[in-house]
Amino acid sequence: MDTLSKIAKEVQEETKVRLHRRNVERLIKAVLTTGDFWKIVDLSDLPVPAAAGIVKRLIKEGVLFINDKEDILLTQKGHDLVAELGISPVVDYSCSACEGRGYPFYADKELYRTFVELAKDRPKAIRDYDQGAVTPETTVARVLFIDSRGDLEGRDIIVMGAEDDLTGLAVALTRKARRVLVIDIDERLIEFDKRIFKELGIDNAEAMVWDLRNPFPEEMLGKFDVFITDPPETFAAFRAFIGRGIATLKEEGCAGYFGLTLRDSSIFRWKEFQETLINEYGTVITDIVQDFNHYMNWEYHPETRAAQIAPVRRQPKDIWYRSAWYRIETLPNFKRWNEPISDEVFYLDEEGSTT
Amino acid sequence: MDTLSKIAKEVQEETKVRLHRRNVERLIKAVLTTGDFWKIVDLSDLPVPAAAGIVKRLIKEGVLFINDKEDILLTQKGHDLVAELGISPVVDYSCSACEGRGYPFYADKELYRTFVELAKDRPKAIRDYDQGAVTPETTVARVLFIDSRGDLEGRDIIVMGAEDDLTGLAVALTRKARRVLVIDIDERLIEFDKRIFKELGIDNAEAMVWDLRNPFPEEMLGKFDVFITDPPETFAAFRAFIGRGIATLKEEGCAGYFGLTLRDSSIFRWKEFQETLINEYGTVITDIVQDFNHYMNWEYHPETRAAQIAPVRRQPKDIWYRSAWYRIETLPNFKRWNEPISDEVFYLDEEGSTT
């Protein structure tokens, strides 16, 4: 077995995150590009426990070392390995205008400006609910993406359980939807939205406290054209957010939007999510835009498992947590999943660490 | 049953293309945006036979009419229906810098310039092989996308059966891959590439005539890090191009790239393609970027079934045929599909029409 496969196997045994040799190769590629651990996680597209485990293992093997500034660097042995395997740094040709999303936030400057002004007083992200908001540019780009797909104007839209991003607020601000219902477990966010809806006279938008672990009542099912959400990447949360999101949709041809990251779930788990979407829920995936969602750093980061298992004490300075933007569509005989969640593992499991 | 569902059902019975009511709604949305039939197909995300069938049906119902310039327009009854259902025109906030791809072609101007100079003498698209090349901006953006994903530098790459796009040539021009193998059924394209490889001294790139209906010989299997292709949207071609592409990959964590359109296949069929990728081939989808690939109009258009079933005689003037750009990754136990194709229906079936 070659070096990279051996390391993948060992770190998998230790962390329980599934890995293959190219995951290790990709992490080395990231180290060639940046010494910052959090940027390495970002560029590796790996769950934090896996990236941390690989870095520690490669240090033990004498391939990497950490200098006094807490930069992660290659040793001479590391450079030899890189030359032998022909590994090169990451290149990035993504568009600086739209930040690689394909939809630039400034395509509606007025919406962006209004949103930024309102969002400045937003409630702070708290750890209890796995919060960590996306940048205002992300939120506005989401709305423009959704509008460009025909899923905003005249639609009944539910925004579920990720209102720390204020996506529901941004959708409502366009005044294009027929109806907007925002639900979140965090009363502070619901009160925030309610106050703004009232102040601005947006009377087709409502906000309501709701814990997505509970099934929706009958009157919520089959009532919306579009759902938008951003779940934690556990299986339980995937069902609670996305299964239930699909349950709110009216008929075939309706759409769902959500973020899924590789920072808190492996590519192996992504496949299982896709199996669920296609085989069990009867939906089709129409879009996956990598690194669409950029998350601002959250104050509670030092308390997270991610910070504790990291090979460095240094905090993230820049954006390092990003997720892909999925769009799905319902097809005939799609399934309305709406069971109670008994699973204890809602926010965190072996692949997750940022809660 | 409401009007749109009734029309979807009738057109489905007539054309055999699966449809739901929101497909009809989307077509009306497109008619509110443009009178040009080919742009309507583009904006509807529908196979040409379905779009043509819906337009003809809506004319019969008195909802649409065609004026003497061959513009498709709403009648008064149509306007009443639009008002009743709250249908609005298509909006488009996609990025003008990168043409919505997230990767602008001009991020490597030298590659773009060289490619354009070389491509000006390319063999003309011919009907025999379902040809119709993408724009040079598309080809170059594909290469920059692939490079940004770590799938170019130092990689063994096979470019399969779509060399009318000259993607293999563009990949080779970067001189970043370790090895490039271009295969295509069209000898003109293979000779074209071979001549340029020789003239420019690109000695790590080869080109070879190959008919993808035939299985690959043993020595081609498991030999590449990356495959790139652009199949016709029949099930037989999907297997021949993508199943065989996966068969050439070395191990887990390798990548495949291909275009899939909704102009020659329905969203129902997309779900079946996704089932095949995930359940049968054991791959995971990492990217789907809608409208990434822009196809130039092809001279043989008037001879195609698309032109014959269109409700207008007017030719497409502008780009109307676009496809999504998929990236998949192999996971452990992925399947190397490599059967002979006995299916007669390789280029064309009930949903396809542009060959």
For chain A, which residues make up each domain, given as ranges?
A: 3-85, 105-330
Nearest CA distance, B186 vs chain A (angstrom):
32
Nearest CA distance, A61 vs chain B (angstrom):
23
Residues of chain B contacting A87 with CB distance shorter than 8 Å: 154
Residues of chain A contacting B279 with CB distance shorter than 8 Å: 275, 278-279
pLDDT per residue as tens digits for the range A146-193 = 999 999 999 999 999 989 999 999 999 999 999 999 999 999 999 999
Mean pLDDT of B347-352: 76
Which among B22, B91, B103 has CB closest to A252? B22
Which runs of consecutive H residues, i.e. helices, occur in B2-135?
3-15, 21-31, 37-44, 48-60, 76-85, 109-119
Placement of tokens 């980061």 in the chain: A301
Residue B344 has pLDDT above 70, yes or no: no
- The reported pLDDT for the residue numbered A341 is 87
Residue B25 has pLDDT above 90, yes or no: yes
Which among B26, B96, B290 has CB closest to A287? B290
Q: Which of residues 45-84 of A touch B (CB under 8 A)?
A: none
Q: Report whether B264 contacts B354 (CB < 8 A).
A: yes
Fold exhibited by the domain A3-85:
Arc Repressor Mutant, subunit A (1.10.10)
Cβ–Cβ contact A109 with B under 8 A: no
Cβ–Cβ contact B301 with A under 8 A: no
Mean pLDDT of B253-274: 97
Q: Report whether A232 contacts A295 (CB < 8 A).
A: no
Q: Cα B247 from chain centroid?
A: 21
Residue B237 has pLDDT above 70, yes or no: yes
CA dist., res. B162 & res. B248, Å (int): 16
Which residues on neighbouring strands pair with residue A326, listed in sequence order? A258, A288
Cα-based distances in Å from A22 to A19, A81, A303: 8, 14, 31
Percent of chain B topping pLDDT 70: 98
Residues of chain B contacting A88 with CB distance shorter than 8 Å: 153-154
Residues of chain B contacting A137 with CB distance shorter than 8 Å: none
Which runs of consecutive H residues, i.e. helices, occur in chain A?
3-15, 21-31, 37-44, 48-60, 76-85, 109-119, 136-148, 167-173, 187-199, 235-238, 244-247, 267-275, 305-309
Dihedral, A230, A234, A239, A245 alpha carbons, nearest 10: 0
- The reported pLDDT for the residue numbered A127 is 79
- The reported pLDDT for the residue numbered A297 is 82
- The reported pLDDT for the residue numbered B343 is 61
Q: Give the pairing type, strands A226-229 and A255-260.
A: parallel
- The reported pLDDT for the residue numbered B327 is 98
Cβ–Cβ contact A191 with B under 8 A: no
Identify the three-state secondary structure at position A140: helix
Mean pLDDT of B314-340: 95
Interface mutation target, options B32, B91, B96, chain A, most CBs of A under 10 Å: B91
pLDDT per residue as tens digits for the range B55-81 = 999 999 999 999 999 999 999 999 999
| Predicted TM-score of the model (pTM) | 0.97
Which residues on neighbouring strands pair with residue A183, listed in sequence order? A160, A208
- The reported pLDDT for the residue numbered B345 is 61
Nearest CA distance, A172 vs chain B (angstrom):
17
Cβ–Cβ contact B175 with A under 8 A: no
Is the CB of A275 less than 8 angstroms away from the CB of B278?
Answer: yes
Fold exhibited by the domain B105-330:
Rossmann fold (3.40.50)
Is the CB of A86 less than 8 angstroms away from the CB of B154?
Answer: yes
- Please list, in sequence order, all residues whose beta carbon lies within 8 angstroms of the beta carbon of residue A198, skipping any fewer than 6 positions away: none
**Helix B37-44 and helix B21-31, axial crossing angle in degrees, nearest 10:** 140
Cβ–Cβ contact A325 with B under 8 A: no
- Number of other CB atoms surrounding residue B120 within 10 Å: 8
Is the CB of A101 less than 8 angstroms away from the CB of B90?
Answer: no
Cβ–Cβ contact A280 with B under 8 A: no
List the single residue in A with minimal CA-CA distance to B29.
A150
- The reported pLDDT for the residue numbered A228 is 98
Q: Is A39 left (phi over 0), alpha (psi -120 to 50) or beta?
A: alpha
Mean pLDDT of B317-332: 96
Which among A87, A93, A253 has CB closest to B147? A93
CA dist., res. B282 & res. B333, Å (int): 7
Burial of B309 (0-12, 13-18, 19+ CB in 10 A): middle
Residue B129 has pLDDT above 80, yes or no: no
Query: Could you state, in chain order, the average pLDDT of each consecutive group of 10 residues for chain A (355 residues)?
Result: 93 96 98 97 97 98 97 98 97 98 98 97 83 93 98 98 94 98 96 97 97 94 98 92 98 98 96 98 98 91 91 92 98 96 71 81
Residues of chain B contacting A103 with CB distance shorter than 8 Å: 93-95, 100
- Number of other CB atoms surrounding residue A151 within 10 Å: 23
Q: Report whether A211 contacts A190 (CB < 8 A).
A: no
Nearest CA distance, A11 vs chain B (angstrom):
17
Nearest CA distance, B39 vs chain A (angstrom):
15
Interface mutation target, options A24, A82, A98, chain B, most CBs of B under 10 Å: A98
Residues of chain A contacting B148 with CB distance shorter than 8 Å: 90-94
Taking one residue from A and the other from B, the number of pairs with CB-CB distance under 8 angstroms is: 170
Is the CB of B93 less than 8 angstroms away from the CB of A100?
Answer: no
Cβ–Cβ contact A208 with B under 8 A: no
Mean pLDDT of B187-207: 97
Nearest CA distance, B30 vs chain A (angstrom):
10
In which band, very low, low, confident or very high, does the pLDDT at B300 lie, cut at 50, 70 and 90? confident
Identify the three-state secondary structure at position B148: helix
Is the CB of A284 less than 8 angstroms away from the CB of B274?
Answer: yes
Mean pLDDT (chain B) is 95
- The reported pLDDT for the residue numbered A343 is 60
Cβ–Cβ contact B275 with A under 8 A: yes
Is the CB of A150 less than 8 angstroms away from the CB of B90?
Answer: yes
Cβ–Cβ contact A90 with B under 8 A: yes
Residues of chain A contacting B324 with CB distance shorter than 8 Å: 286-287
H or E element: which one contains B171? helix B167-173
